[in-house]
Amino acid sequence: MPYDATLERATRAGLLTGPAVFAGVFLIFDVAPSDAFWPALFFALLTSLAAIDGLSETVPDTLTLALAGSGLAHTGLVGAPVLLPAVIVVLLIAVGLGIERWTRERWIFGSGDLFLFAGIAAWFGPVLMIDVLLIAAVALALHCIVLRQRTSAFAPSLLVASYLVWFGGPIL
């Protein structure tokens, strides 16, 4: 299947699956539908990014930047301080841009992964982003050990970690 078709299919699957799964969880925990818009948007974008990364091992900048922008908008709308998350997002994007040329052909942690993590940091803030990163690292390591692989896409692990932290709360 050509790359464009894979990207389109993964994006559609993610944008449909994210809100559906999140809506199911919200029904289980009995949360009002009016409170579900922002989390559904977050998980739709993140699920789409995880599907794309899992299928093509790339993370599109447009979706990661949309994730970061929507996270900062949500943070501002709920009245939380936006300055520190915004600084973290800008720093992660700057580092991602800085290492982009160096990591492009080496099949290692790339700039798209940093942009994706910047988007997650915008949603979770500085304290919970550490929890998400630790859980995602453990999930990725377990995935690689079980499947006997040296590398794997990072976005699916970040998706699992985000669900666990969103619904389970902080671990540290």
* 122-162: pLDDT as tens digits: 999 888 999 999 999 999 889 888 888 877 888 899 999 99
Please give the structure tokens belonging to residue 169.
């709360």
Domain spans of the chain?
Answer: 3-168
Q: Work out whether the CA dihedral 125, 127, 131, 134 comes out positive or negative.
A: positive
**pLDDT per position as a tens digit, 21-79:** 666 766 766 666 667 778 888 888 898 888 888 887 788 888 888 999 999 999 888 88
